[in-house]
Chain A
Amino acid sequence: DAKTTQPPSMDCAEGRAANLPCNHSTISGNEYVYWYRQIHSQGPQYIIHGLKNNETNEMASLIITEDRKSSTLILPHATLRDTAVYYCIVRVPPSYGNNRLAFGKGNQVVVIP
């Protein structure tokens, strides 16, 4: 699976949009971009995933660049409960024979009142 690069930490203001970047310059054509987050002392939680088109759900939006070498997770209105470690992961679908989901170091996001 392609490696990802995220900033180790970032702050964002409560009520504002939080834009979380991720670089995955070695991503291959069949690899998806996944985002999970882990709130302190809890298990990781799925947020969103995409292949090439932008995606939106009730939690966040995912913007993938046209060359797919980077993406941005957008939390539209950050709240204090969004303080967490955010993981950007790229991987092939399990139908390709491997269902491993490998977490890196992630981005510690702190929402400030």
Chain B
Amino acid sequence: DAGVIQSPRHEVTEMGQEVTLRCKPISGHDYLFWYRQTMMRGLELLIYFNNNVPIDDSGMPEDRFSAKMPNASFSTLKIQPSEPRDSAVYFCASSLWERELFFGEGSRLTVL
């Protein structure tokens, strides 16, 4: 298996623009997680899905952030409008039931 695949790997955009990050989980996994990592706050869980249904979005910072999982093989994290403080590395992870999380390589976002 190719593992968790994220795109883009790097994104540079200007404040106010819409940003869409994409994730393909490992086939057969029923949980999908979005994390954000910054130097100041470390790794933060934003939201997770089970069987494509959002279960816990309490970590989503504000209404500018939204996440969807239209099917078992694809998820998006959207920021609209983006702000400089959204600059971070965004990780997607997937897991099978109670087993360990597998993380993607991350998407590094820079908002100017």
Contacts and interface: CB of A to CB of B under 8 A. Distances in A.
Interface of A: 34, 36, 38, 41-46, 49, 87, 93-95, 98-106
Contacts of A34: 100
Interface residues of B, number: 23
A93 B31 CA distance: 13
B26 interface: no
Majority DSSP secondary structure for residues of A touching B: loop
B90 to A, nearest CB: 10
B43 A99 contact: no
A50 to B, nearest CB: 13
B93 A103 contact: no
A99 B31 contact: yes
Given A43-B104, A43-B105, A46-B100, A98 B56 contact: yes
Contact of A100 (B45, B100, B106): B45
Contacts of A44: 43, 91, 93, 101, 103
A100 B56 contact: yes
Contact of A45 (B43, B50, B95, B103): B103
B55 interface: yes
Contact of B103 (A43, A49, A95): A43
Contacts of B35: 103
A88 to B, nearest CB: 13
- The 8 residue pairs across chains A and B that have the minimum distance between CB atoms: A43-B103, A46-B100, A103-B43, A94-B98, A44-B103, A93-B98, A43-B91, A43-B104
A49 B95 CA distance: 15
11 contacts: A41-B106, A43-B106, A44-B43, A44-B101, A45-B103, A94-B97, A95-B98, A99-B31, A99-B50, A101-B45, A102-B45
Contacts of A106: 42
Contact of A49 (B48, B100, B102): B100
Nearest to B89: A41
A105 B48 CA distance: 21
